């Protein structure tokens, strides 16, 4: 946390510490028409925002370290239903452990802690999370969204942070894996469904050939495919479908080392390319795998297109 004066900083450190450790129990805020001078996306509230319990099904923030949040939140979501729908798109990114501050940064906006005034995340925290997570997001065809443009956030005022800037720049995040993001899935039902939701299509097939192409890997598939999720793919697209592992020329992907297996292949179209967003060995002996395939037909995915614009 950084602030303009030492006395204000001490006061806000105490306030944030009490809020995070004691889990803030206030029932509602007592201010009206607050608007951040630092963040152009700030809202002027017509009635006092409320402190509400963070529900268990708000998976992004339910275990963030405090149990009540401000509603409307700092991304202008007015209802809990809207918060849940938008926040669910970010759960897979937190699971990727691309930066240790990802959950704190996102939850400071989606489920802000209850204090006397809204406190935004520090600009340097936004930049650190963006720089750490953008390569993974790009491998799935998603850009860093405009609603999280880092220069909107404060750098010289009170703000939410984890550690001092540059303190852990050279340290790998806990849980970081050098494996290509579409290839690092555990054989867990939830993880597989999250990858399917980030994909437009999914099918069962074999791989014909894998070649390096600039910084990507070019994956040519066998002609025979069993469609599980069609998306916008048409029959003519399926005949000679080639997928690209974005920025995956050098990162490990064990699944692409063995071309004799059947695979669950997931992907999405970005610009004129089809990206490989997930790959699993087709393993009917796995209960988790069979459960994921069964749930795929009825599973309700978050609307990524509403978030990543």
Q: For residue 173, tell me if it sits in a domain.
A: no
Q: For residue 18, tell me if it sits in a domain.
A: yes
**Are 133 and 201 found together in one domain?**
no
User: What pTM did the predictor assign?
Assistant: 0.72
In tens, the pLDDT along 93-130 reads 898 889 999 999 999 999 999 988 889 999 999 999 99
Q: For residue 75, tell me if it sits in a domain.
A: yes
**Are 129 and 31 found together in one domain?**
yes
**Are 13 and 140 found together in one domain?**
yes
Average pLDDT of the residues in 65-83: 92
**Are 194 and 122 found together in one domain?**
no
Assign residue 224 a region (left: φ > 0; alpha: ψ between -120 and 50; beta: otherwise): beta
Average pLDDT of the residues in 18-44: 36
Q: Name the pLDDT band for 4 (thresholds 50, 70, 90).
A: very low
In tens, the pLDDT along 186-245 reads 778 888 888 888 888 999 999 999 999 999 999 999 888 899 888 888 878 887 789 999
Q: For residue 160, tell me if it sits in a domain.
A: no
Q: For residue 32, tell me if it sits in a domain.
A: yes
Confirm if 120 and 106 have CB atoms less than 8 A apart: no
Q: Name the pLDDT band for 185 (thresholds 50, 70, 90).
A: low
CATH code of the domain containing 67? 1.10.2000.10
Confirm if 275 and 247 have CB atoms less than 8 A apart: no
So what's the pLDDT on residue 272? Answer: 86
Q: Which domain holds residue 143?
A: 6-152
**Are 146 and 187 found together in one domain?**
no
d(CA 67, CA 69): 7
Distances (CA, A) of 159 to 7, 26, 84, 214, 263: 15, 20, 24, 41, 46
Burial 83-101 (b: 16+ CB within 10 A, else e): bbebbbbbbbbbbbbbbbb
Q: Between these two residues, 175 and 148, which has the higher pLDDT value?
A: 148
Q: Domain count of the chain? A: 2
**Are 17 and 94 found together in one domain?**
yes
**Are 203 and 147 found together in one domain?**
no
So what's the pLDDT on residue 164? Answer: 46
CATH code of the domain containing 199? 2.40.50.120
Three-class DSSP category at 279: strand
**Are 199 and 302 found together in one domain?**
yes
**Are 292 and 240 found together in one domain?**
yes
**Are 145 and 191 found together in one domain?**
no
So what's the pLDDT on residue 163? Answer: 54
Average pLDDT of the residues in 35-40: 39
**Are 86 and 125 found together in one domain?**
yes
Q: For residue 175, tell me if it sits in a domain.
A: no
Q: Which of 152, 172, 205 is at the close of a domain?
A: 152
**Are 191 and 102 found together in one domain?**
no
Q: For residue 169, tell me if it sits in a domain.
A: no
Q: For residue 264, tell me if it sits in a domain.
A: yes
């Amino acid at each position: 946390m950084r602030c303009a004066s030492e006395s204000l900083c001490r006061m806000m450190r105490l306030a944030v510490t009490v809020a995070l450790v004691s889990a803030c129990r206030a029932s509602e805020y007592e201010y009206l028409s607050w608007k951040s001078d630092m963040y152009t996306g700030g809202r002027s509230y017509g009635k006092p925002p409320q402190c509400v319990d963070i529900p268990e099904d708000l998976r992004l923030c339910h275990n963030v370290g405090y149990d009540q949040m401000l509603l409307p939140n700092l991304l202008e979501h007015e209802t809990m239903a809207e918060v849940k729908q938008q926040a669910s798109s970010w759960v897979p990114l937190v699971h990727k452990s691309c930066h240790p501050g990802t959950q704190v940064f996102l939850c400071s906006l989606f489920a802000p802690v209850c204090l006397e005034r809204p406190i935004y995340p520090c600009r340097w925290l936004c930049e650190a999370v963006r720089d750490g997570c953008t390569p993974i997001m790009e491998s799935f065809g998603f850009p860093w969204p405009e609603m999280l443009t880092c220069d909107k956030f404060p750098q010289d005022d009170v703000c939410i942070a984890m550690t001092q800037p540059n303190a852990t720049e050279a340290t790998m995040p806990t849980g970081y894996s050098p494996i290509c993001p579409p290839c690092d899935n555990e054989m867990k039902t939830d993880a597989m469904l999250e990858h399917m939701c980030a994909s437009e299509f999914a099918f069962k097939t074999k791989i014909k050939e894998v070649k390096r192409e600039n910084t990507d890997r070019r994956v040519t598939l066998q002609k025979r495919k069993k469609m599980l999720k069609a998306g916008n793919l048409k029959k003519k697209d399926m005949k000679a479908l080639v997928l690209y592992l974005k920025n995956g020329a050098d990162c490990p992907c064990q699944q692409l080392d063995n071309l004799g297996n059947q695979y669950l292949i997931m992907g999405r179209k970005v610009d004129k390319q089809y990206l490989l967003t997930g790959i699993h060995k087709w393993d009917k002996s796995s209960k988790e795998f069979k459960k994921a395939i069964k749930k795929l037909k009825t599973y309700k995915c978050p609307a990524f297109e509403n978030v990543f614009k």
